Chain A
Amino acid sequence: MAKTAASGDDYESALAQSSTKVAEFEDTRTGFVHKFQHALHLNPSLVPLIVLLLSIALFGALLGSKFFSPFALTLILQQVQIVGIVAAAQSLVILTAGIDLSVGAIMVLSSVVMGQFTFRYGIPAPISIGAGLACGTACGFVNGFLVARMKLPPFIVTLGMWQIVLASNFLYSGNATIRAQDIAAEAPLLHLFGAKINIGGAVLTVGVLFMVGLVLLLSYVLRHTAWGRHVYAVGDDKDAAELSGVQTDRVLISVYMLSGLICAFAGWALIGRIGSVSPTSGQLANIESITAVVIGGISLFGGRGSILGTLFGALIVGVFTLGLRLLGADAQWTYLLIGILIIAAVAVDQWIRKVSV
């Protein structure tokens, strides 16, 4: 035995002189395209940012001051605030390699709960709003529980919840709209997100500030806290995350609950935006939020992308919508261009990934 071990050692004896320096290489691929690709790989939200700046420049050149004014540019922010907030919730879920089709329905149900609690039961507005936020979080919990504990596919769970929540919304509200005048007179707090702030021609609303603040906060949390890293790890490879000590079920449930809560805030912002509480509003929020997430460069397979990209994605859609309308083009051109953008975004995503292989 000792003999075998000794002869086995021979080929390793040269190791004594091996180098102890950390490897350094001269990177000869210094071309612009390569550097660009590498930068994009490190900061995936750069792509939608560049597209956003280019599209603003394009429409600015075509339309001049009609588009390139503080008023028009902040109008875009107002128009995308609802989609932006919902897309932030959608981003969290998609980062865990899931999808949430119930975001729009949760948003509408939460706004209906806020309105009906105030006007049907005469509950003070702050408590009604709390109930609406709790309602959204509870819907998110059901989604998260079914996905994490029952191991059902997120697509199926949220497809079902979409119908359930939307139907509950119509049944509970009796299809009744609460008028804007009544809200303004009796419960102005429900209009909080619609409050306008004028800064020299630029018009910002509380909802816009909330959207930007929310995205910045989530961006910090995802990048710099343990919970944020766990969200990425779960989306990347759930089994590996579990083996390396992440409580994946807890992370998933918390993500869906947070998504529900954010959707409820979007419901509050929706009341501020449209003035009334309407059970038929916000039907396009699902598709629009997924569009913003995809154009923003977050991978539908989970674990990759940045929530800042989602904000840029929502803004790109807003810029195209307003720009084309000011140009007098048929609204269908907007959808056509957004369709092209979605496919282009995924193609760029694939190209960026080649850096790692």
Chain B
Amino acid sequence: MEQQQPILQGKNLVKRYGRVTALDHCDFELYPGEILAVIGDNGAGKSTLIKAVSGAVVPDAGEVFLEGKRVNFSSPLDAREHGIETVYQQLAMSPALSIADNMFMGRELRKPGIMGKWLRQLDRPAMEAFAREKLNELGLMTIQNIRQAVETLSGGQRQGVAVARAAAFGSKVIILDEPTAALGVKESRRVLELINDVKSRGQPIVLISHNMPHVFEIADRIHIHRLGKRLCVIRPQDYSMNDAVAFMTGAKEPPQEALAA
């Protein structure tokens, strides 16, 4: 796999917030068709790394490549137009708007014919049917009313809606920042199944998670992040969860061959 060209790549990324260094000359590679897990301590810079490659923050230095071509994302919308869909930790939902409105935020469907073209009317029935279908695929059966405001959902349901949105629209890369953190057993399992579904369609996924069993179960490679940079990349079949946690927290030096990987 390493001979392939990465679909999404970051080189030498640096991001500082004032005196705090969040990314310190960090590299990142995602290969086509794989599930790459990113693990690391709290504050290691995982979320900043993901934001830097998805346009939510502009890195101070370094380059991002999509399919080998240099890209400069200045906003999440840029990245989205290139087919990178992200579920952020803070979920990015508008609480007072409905589930369907949130799923289609920024890419609303308009009614066909005069109503849509001249009066620019939204096609609510189509948007609601699509939203319901995507939620059902995810097994989010506990949502009673697709028109209800997102603020009336539980934390887990909100997360489910955010994941459904990314899965429905991401065409090249899907980035999930702790997608199962607030979910119940059943919903977590659904999200993992969904991640495998998406992978089987050939789409690569970046998964940030603290849940080691999940990471070791579905990831093809694991990017271990420590102190603002990539410490090493390991394969789940070569190491145990204990090893991964030891590398991540600095309890154990990473093996030389993993550093090269």
Give which listed residue, A15, A18, A246, contacts B105 with CB less than 8 A.
Answer: A246
Chain B residues with CB under 8 Å of A237's CB are: 93-95
With an 8 A cutoff between CB atoms, is B130 at the interface? Answer: no
Chain A residues with CB under 8 Å of B241's CB are: 1, 4
Decide if B77 touches A226 in the complex (CB within 8 Å). no
Q: Mark A15-31, 1 if CB is under 8 A from B, else 0.
A: 10011111111000000
With an 8 A cutoff between CB atoms, is B56 at the interface? Answer: yes
Decide if A240 touches B122 in the complex (CB within 8 Å). no
With an 8 A cutoff between CB atoms, is A229 at the interface? Answer: yes
Decide if B152 touches A356 in the complex (CB within 8 Å). yes
Residue of B nearest to A305 (CB): B96
Decide if A240 touches B96 in the complex (CB within 8 Å). no
How many angstroms between the C-alpha atoms of A17 and B185 in the bound complex? Answer: 14
The range of chain A's interface size is 35 or more
Decide if B185 touches A233 in the complex (CB within 8 Å). no
How many angstroms between the C-alpha atoms of A247 and B75 in the bound complex? Answer: 9
Give which listed residue, B56, B95, B101, B240, contacts A243 with CB less than 8 A.
Answer: B56
With an 8 A cutoff between CB atoms, is B121 at the interface? Answer: yes
Chain A residues with CB under 8 Å of B108's CB are: 226, 229
Chain B residues with CB under 8 Å of A226's CB are: 108, 110, 120, 122
Interface-located stretch among B8-16, B31-39, B84-92: B84-92
Interface size on B, residues (CB 8 A): 47
Query: A23-B142, A233-B94, A247-B77 are known contacts. Are A5 and B122 too (CB-CB below 8 A)?
Result: no
Chain A residues with CB under 8 Å of B96's CB are: 232, 236, 303-304
Closest 9 CB pairs of A and B: A245-B106, A243-B92, A226-B108, A233-B94, A244-B105, A236-B94, A240-B92, A8-B213, A244-B92
With an 8 A cutoff between CB atoms, is B58 at the interface? Answer: no
Decide if B185 touches A229 in the complex (CB within 8 Å). no
Give which listed residue, B76, B93, B107, B213, contacts A5 with CB less than 8 A.
Answer: B213
With an 8 A cutoff between CB atoms, is B141 at the interface? Answer: yes
Decide if B80 touches A245 in the complex (CB within 8 Å). yes
Chain A residues with CB under 8 Å of B106's CB are: 230, 244-247
Decide if A303 touches B94 in the complex (CB within 8 Å). yes
Give which listed residue, B80, B142, B186, contacts A15 with CB less than 8 A.
Answer: B186
With an 8 A cutoff between CB atoms, is A224 at the interface? Answer: yes
How many angstroms between the C-alpha atoms of A225 and B119 in the bound complex? Answer: 8
A sample of 19 inter-chain contacts (CB < 8 A) reads A15-B185, A22-B144, A220-B119, A224-B119, A224-B120, A224-B124, A225-B122, A226-B120, A227-B120, A229-B105, A229-B122, A230-B106, A232-B97, A233-B97, A237-B95, A241-B105, A243-B76, A245-B80, A247-B77
With an 8 A cutoff between CB atoms, is B151 at the interface? Answer: yes
Q: Which residue numbers of B lie inside 8 Å of A, CB to CB? A: 56, 75-77, 80, 86, 88, 90-97, 101-102, 105-108, 110, 119-122, 124, 136, 139, 141-144, 149, 151-152, 165, 185-186, 189, 213, 216-217, 236-237, 240-241
Residue of B nearest to A234 (CB): B94
Decide if A23 touches B144 in the complex (CB within 8 Å). yes
Chain A residues with CB under 8 Å of B110's CB are: 226
Give which listed residue, B80, B142, B185, contacts A12 with CB less than 8 A.
Answer: B185
Q: Which of A201-233 contact B (CB under 8 A)?
A: 220, 224-227, 229-230, 232-233
A218 to chain B: closest CB distance in Å? 13
How many angstroms between the C-alpha atoms of A232 and B186 in the bound complex? Answer: 33
Chain A residues with CB under 8 Å of B102's CB are: 244
Chain B residues with CB under 8 Å of A5's CB are: 213, 216-217
Residue of A nearest to B141 (CB): A22
Decide if B77 touches A245 in the complex (CB within 8 Å). yes
Residue of A nearest to B193 (CB): A15
Chain A residues with CB under 8 Å of B94's CB are: 232-233, 236-237, 240-241, 244, 303
How many angstroms between the C-alpha atoms of A244 and B141 in the bound complex? Answer: 24
Give which listed residue, B56, B97, B144, B236, contacts A24 with CB less than 8 A.
Answer: B144
Chain A residues with CB under 8 Å of B56's CB are: 243
Chain B residues with CB under 8 Å of A225's CB are: 119-122
